[in-house]
Structure 1
């Protein structure tokens, strides 16, 4: 059973991947579970399946609907991975020098591991060996994942506690992206491509979006960060509902959460060990702007300040802080709304989902399973009639249609363009589009202003976008007119 839990934890929480020759790819993973597993009654489940279903329920509670389970950036030399269930750390892998970094932004610290291949694999012990060469079986099976044709590799092993019940780990990979290996996933060096889906026993992760993101400093550790001698404990909840909780974990400078094992609740103490808040919460999130979201023993959410004083009493089914405008998205009676830090309701909880407001004062929300847009006065700007609105940009919004295409609309509902994919190019009234795996640019009226002729293209930064043509030796930079310029 321990190996099963470790395997599931690896799949869901140690999430990182891959890149192509030049660009940095951003990969978004979603949690996936076989519907057949969810349909089984408790009498039909074996012990391993019961553990998996418990893990499913736990993840669904803590995963926000509007966020992928994990975001991964990768190129030829580096990988950066961030699990959205563990927002207080991310992992960097320097593939060229074979070095792994665990980075903790909240405490401005990092841990450097110069021998990541020696990190325990945490799979069945019989699979470990000095060369990290695990017994994958490569097949000719294929399927499409996030626009890539993937092949299947399988690893079959048995649990010591159930020797007659083999377990299969399935890895779907694409050879169009180089393989990567990091930390507990070092065994993926034996996969001839990038893993876009990893599952076992009907549960796992799958990439549903792969985009280009060549933002600067993605793989940098700021100079003022301090190197530490050992890694900090991870701050997400264990996959194993019966596992011991962390005894202590970081909350802020001079603030640490500590566990009262008798009460099974967390309190807060300072760096000198003085108790700031007596144990009374089942979980305390990291402080931001000297505030932290807390969860009480009845699974209700609230907000406290740096001294443990209550700001918002725990009575909400979810609470998320937005540091940009100092507001809170909340769920009460299974409906979402927004309030300020004084508890005043700004947007009533009448939506199935709502995101934070943009600089233009608009927010995406859902009603009856359909997406629309509201303003700060809770007036409908865009009717609730779209399958999925993914982005609002000034007076335009982008819709992911039911046929998996993307469309650009005006706020008045006029469709301006449809392509395989559309995203904002971070330049006024310019959008990146993809059609038949070719990248180009359109304006806000849907007119192509830079032809779809590139193998990849990045958003603009300071008026320049990086593009690459098939057959070219290197990528080049273009301006908003499509002219090649020197950076």
Structure 2
């Protein structure tokens, strides 16, 4: 039997057993070297650190939940289901055009109905980003509205209670704790963050409004503007040695990572060389400078 079985370990006691010949799954007890759950399921999975329930798909293609003794705790009635996390799991029904998600608890009680096109629970706060009829919002698990389903898109912004919201091609940042937009819906784009230090953790973003860019610092849920919207371009990818290359009115210079101007924006181009040196070009001449803009060559 062992030769045709593949095992995926769950913990010190149990493993998922996969019969590769018949494509069936069961639960193997590593201590007793026996199958606690026979090889009869199309799918079987669990995260035993988070829940003692196993997610299973029966021969008819429906999902339900078992305990470790192969007793059905939540009936096989879902077209798809996930493992439980923090006492909650996603369940899905399918139509010809879409898939609709809902949420249940470990008793099988429906926490959110299966009517959302997308659904992302924000642990451990017990509210969720949802999409319905193409629009996004934020609701509690008893369907109280936190942010109306009026947005074109919502995603988390670096912190579980901050959300990047898009509406009519404009972006703002909504804070659940205060119940308001701490960044108004006026941004054209937010560039991906880059991490400067991990202890304490700093993240830097580029906010773009009316084609001008600002350098923004994010830490512990707090957004701090280090510059106003004054730069044509901020090259955060090439940042090194506490310097950020910036362009204003078509000319390049540099700031430090706190947004303080260090090298005036007066060069045709500027490039960080490493080892404390910066290369730049102005009026047809190339210069090698130190990190503060003093010419070395």
Q: Normalising by the residue count of structure 2, what TM-score does the alignment of the two structures yield?
A: 0.56
- Cα deviation, 1:111-149, whole Å, max 9, x if unaligned, reads xxxxxxxxxxxxxxxxxxxxxxxxxxxxxxxxxxxxxxx
Match of residue 287 from structure 1: 9
Gaps of 5+ in 2: 227-256, 259-297
Query: SS of the residue aligned with 1:482?
Result: strand
Which whole-Å CA distance do the structure 2 matches of 1:280 and 1:463 have between them? 48
Match of residue 114 from structure 2: 384
Query: SS of the residue aligned with 1:469?
Result: strand
Match of residue 173 from structure 2: 440
Q: 1:336 aligns with which of 63, 68, 75?
A: 63
User: Could you say which structure has the larger radius of gyration?
Assistant: 2
C-alpha distance 480-426 of structure 1, shift in aligned 2 (>3 A): closer
Q: 1:467 aligns with which of 205, 213, 216?
A: 205
Contact 1:439-1:456 within 8 A present in 2 as well: no
C-alpha distance 473-482 of structure 1, shift in aligned 2 (>3 A): closer
| Pairwise CA distance, 1:355 | 1.9
Which whole-Å CA distance do the structure 1 matches of 2:55 and 2:77 have between them? 12
- Cα deviation, 1:319-375, whole Å, max 9, x if unaligned, reads 11214324321011211112232323332221112222232x222213465432222
Q: 1:300 aligns with which of 12, 24, 30?
A: 24
| Pairwise CA distance, 1:468 | 1.6
More helix by share: 1
Which whole-Å CA distance do the structure 1 matches of 2:92 and 2:178 have between them? 26
Which whole-Å CA distance do the structure 1 matches of 2:175 and 2:214 have between them? 26
C-alpha distance 484-301 of structure 1, shift in aligned 2 (>3 A): same
- Cα deviation, 1:273-311, whole Å, max 9, x if unaligned, reads xxxx3x233xx1443424432332222111224475323
Q: Normalising by the residue count of structure 1, what TM-score does the alignment of the two structures yield?
A: 0.36
Contact 1:424-1:432 within 8 A present in 2 as well: yes
C-alpha distance 289-472 of structure 1, shift in aligned 2 (>3 A): same
Match of residue 409 from structure 1: 139
Q: 1:311 aligns with which of 20, 31, 36?
A: 36
What pairs with 1:417-432 in structure 2 (closer than 5 Å)? 417=148, 418-425=150-157, 427=159, 429-432=161-164
Which whole-Å CA distance do the structure 2 matches of 1:472 and 1:288 have between them? 48
Which whole-Å CA distance do the structure 1 matches of 2:202 and 2:172 have between them? 15
| Pairwise CA distance, 1:481 | 4.3
Match of residue 47 from structure 2: 322
Gaps of 5+ in 1: 1-266, 268-276
| Pairwise CA distance, 1:464 | 6.0
More strand by share: 2
Q: 1:476 aligns with which of 217, 235, 238?
A: 217
| Pairwise CA distance, 1:428 | 5.4
The question of 1:365 aligning with 2:91 is answered: yes
Which whole-Å CA distance do the structure 1 matches of 2:177 and 2:83 have between them? 23
Match of residue 455 from structure 1: 190
Which whole-Å CA distance do the structure 2 matches of 1:285 and 1:424 have between them? 36
CA RMSD between the two structures: 3.6
What pairs with 1:95-134 in structure 2 (closer than 5 Å)? none
C-alpha distance 426-319 of structure 1, shift in aligned 2 (>3 A): farther
| Pairwise CA distance, 1:448 | 1.0
Query: SS of the residue aligned with 1:343?
Result: coil
Contact 2:158-2:221 within 8 A present in 1 as well: no
User: How many residues end up aligned between the 2 structures?
Assistant: 207
